[in-house]
Amino acid sequence: MSLPTPFATPYNSNFSDDAETGHAGTAPAAAFDSEEVPLSPRALPHRASNATRPELTLAGGDAKRPFRDVLWAGLFLGHLGLIGWALVVWGKMRFDGPDRHSQTTTYWPQYGGAAGLGIVLTWAWLWLFRRCSADMIKMSVHSVSTFGAVLSVLLFWNHSPLWGIGFAAGAAVAFVFSFTVTDRLPFTALVIQKAVDLVGDFPSTLYVAFLVGVVSLAWLALWTFGAAGTIALSSEKHRWAKLFLLSVSLLWTAVVAHNVVHVAAACAFAQWFLAGGEGQPPEHRSSRGLVVALTSSFGSVCFGSLLSPPVRTLRWLARGLRGRMRSNECMLCCLDCYLGLLEGFVRIFNKYAYVHMAIGGKGFNRASTDAWERFQLTGVEALVAQDLSGAVLLLSVALGGLITGTVVGTWVHYTQEDRTVPVAVTGALLSMMLIGLVTAVIEAGVTTIYVMFAEDPALISRWDPEFGSELEAMLNERLARRARKPLIDNPRNQP
């Protein structure tokens, strides 16, 4: 199949778009002369077609892979040990008390219910994304703001003004986000639908998510033991300080578990694409990816899990606002400056690194840089900027957490009203952690599709010719729009 125009020449991204800034220029060809992940001749249009270059090195191959970002793996494991010790101490102090059955054990049914509801919502979300992805996306985007606004009112009514303000602010951010990205949802729905179809062809990736989920549940059991003891034992001031530290730790742990599943699934998907549907069975590929994620790439997973999510969130919000403020030159310039600063962070902290880590065993920073420069060289960055799959999946996780928190909070409200908010919040976090493991498999499908398309569009077309043609048409359309638009739309320049 012939490559589309964007792949015929190196891509220069110094054009503006209604959803992008395009501050970075053409990536140098030397940036892709990687010893770990050499690229095929067809994937490098700026090189001679007869150049001899080996194929992509697959993750978990016969060659021994060095461990990457070992410091971050040590920090994460050390933090787990310290938090685990604190959880045992805080939980045991309360459990050894004479009134333990009226204190610590009081919250175990609620936490168990939160975990059970999280499992139910996990499979419900997966089924809904497979059956009606467009409707599920709309529900996720719009329901979070509505749900958050209702909860903020209830929290004010329950004499919890700080939590009410927090939920009101979150609902406002979700509303602004939903208002600014309406035109990008159809393309996002298409990509997520294809990613879910890919997951359906690889049920072994869900088994990996289930296995990581079992380990996560064991950690959650210890976490709830310590959290319940903290809620029952501590004073109001110390209780919130301890719960904040425990929640931050749980969030980092949840993101690490999410990205372990992401790397394992991406390894299976990428190997299948590169092998053209032949070779080892999917189960072997998924288990190989899990080994890679837990050994040589584990430090990189821990590093990326700590820094990548906030950068992605800020970029989503800024790009959405930019698309709605083209008539305000002052705000447009401010957002361009802000996005220019973020562009450097995105280059070294992006989720597409996990596919390159799974394929070639790079460290997180190098994998992020190579992935992003590859997108800019081929023009696929224009598609990535149009895609909102990560934000939509995150909102679906948040929606599941809000539902769980509401159910648990209502349950606690009628037994111990003064403990309603802390138990509901921690219960919501438990549910979000479990739901996030399955959305990680879907997100791995999305990221692998983009990385493979940037590597060679034929890899996608062999899998789904119609989808490959749609991606190529969309890419040509986005690049044509970039080329036609000036850097700043000035209404006074219009005829």
Number of C-beta neighbours around residue 123 at 10 A: 12
SS3 state of residue 1: coil
Rounded to the nearest integer, the mean pLDDT of the chain is 75
Res 391 pLDDT > 70 = yes
Higher pLDDT residue, 143 or 21?
143
Q: What's the pLDDT score for residue 58? A: 46
Q: Is the CB of residue 381 less than 8 Å from the CB of residue 372?
A: yes
Give Cβ neighbours of residue 359 (< 8 Å, ≥ 6 apart): 37, 56, 57, 58, 59, 267, 270
Number of C-beta neighbours around residue 337 at 10 A: 12
- Pull the structure tokens for residue 374: 């590859």
Q: Report d(CA 439, CA 419) in Å as an integer.
A: 30
Q: Name the band, by pLDDT with cuts 50, 70 and 90, for residue 347.
A: low
Share of the chain above pLDDT 70, in %: 70
Q: What's the pLDDT score for residue 452? A: 92
Q: Is the pTM of this model over 0.85?
A: no
Q: Report d(CA 485, CA 482) in Å as an integer.
A: 5
Q: Where do runs of H (alpha helix) occur along 349-484? A: 353-360, 364-378, 381-386, 389-413, 420-455, 457-463, 465-484
